[in-house]
Structure 1
């Protein structure tokens, strides 16, 4: 299996420089990664570097905490779509979810999806902060709001993806929404394990090492 077809080659460190983004995009082109996942301020540079290629531009909204206003997330999404993003990964409002304010969570996702339109919206659950019941609820809200993916983690929480989380998300979402696993994924065996569970995308900063050592 060509693991590179599943990978969003990721660099979300706040200290990332233009030189770092150039390296990321060069690697994405050289290894045929599905996409690059970057902070919004780097979209114009990455768009120029990846023009005329098949590599998708993926950026993040409400990152990494998810606790800003809905209006702020919607406006951020609008700007990034205008700058050429193909896909957006937005952080769910964990505080609202844990408070039981489910309609606010769903409506926020719906409004961002409205901006994203026919492009892909992934909802980051940040599963490390959630109970099993909350993970299931979050998946259902994302489905109801017409998001395209649910995603495990930002990579900035106390832990990243886990097999247990993905199994739970798959059970909750079924085939109604896709799953992206991210956070702490560093080797080809782990990637393959997630793909075998039905994960459609992998977010990792270790993409080069993964594809080089996949055989």
Structure 2
């Protein structure tokens, strides 16, 4: 798979607490230049970003991020606000404590409510796999499918581990046919990105691939080789 094709699966991401408008604008410029699937940025920059790209790039933002334990009402409000400001995709974090407590109906209801608030826009549900057992991951595949979200997503990138090949394979096996998989967190090479796609991930959350492409525009770069 060519690097340019891999980049079409990427949500080019900057979600650090220190992100400035100048840095966000660079993310947007690079995302448009390399034809990524979207730019995923903090909600406070969505309005300015949507105006800046003027329809040339989908703007994605995060809800209940990164811990997921906001109330449902707060998450629904965040979603409404983000959409009003021009967001075209939403990545929400589940309440992981509720999953551990077995509050499956509450989690499903929250996802469904946020999905309804998205009003036809793409919703990706972050389940933070590194904090879950295999049984909990499978249960979340079931819940996300029943709730009607478009994607299930591995990670925030802000916890103890990011995406793994094993988790993407597991999720792809257990989600419904209408649910896609997004791998995020720690994707640092085109070789790994290609493997995630082969295993079934249709979106990749990362900023590193565009950076690698900018440094090596004529070939498929691999950060692991650069570190040797």
Equivalent of 1:155, from 146, 154, 157?
Answer: 157
Measure, in 1, the Cα distance between the counterparts of 2:174 and 2:93: 19
Q: TM-score, normalised by structure 1?
A: 0.96
Q: Which has the larger radius of gyration?
A: 2
Instruction: Identify the residue that residue 34 of structure 1 maps to in structure 2.
Output: 37
Whether the 8 Å contact between 2:59 and 2:86 is mirrored in structure 1 is: yes
Runs of 5+ consecutive residues of structure 1 not aligned to the other structure:
none
Runs of 5+ consecutive residues of structure 2 not aligned to the other structure:
222-228
Equivalent of 2:94, from 92, 95, 98?
Answer: 92
Matched, 1:188 2:190: yes
Shift of 1:60: 0.4
Instruction: Identify the residue that residue 137 of structure 1 maps to in structure 2.
Output: 139
Instruction: Identify the residue that residue 120 of structure 1 maps to in structure 2.
Output: 122
Measure, in 1, the Cα distance between the counterparts of 2:8 and 2:60: 14
Pairs aligned (count): 214
* Secondary structure of the structure 2 residue equivalent to 1:186: coil
Instruction: Identify the residue that residue 224 of structure 2 maps to in structure 1.
Output: none
CA RMSD after TM alignment: 1.2
Whether the 8 Å contact between 1:187 and 1:209 is mirrored in structure 2 is: no
Whether the 8 Å contact between 1:160 and 1:184 is mirrored in structure 2 is: yes
Equivalent of 1:44, from 29, 42, 47?
Answer: 47
Deviation by residue 1:104-156 (Cα, 9 ceiling, x = unmatched): 00000010001002110000000000000000001110111110000000000
Instruction: Identify the residue that residue 111 of structure 1 maps to in structure 2.
Output: 113
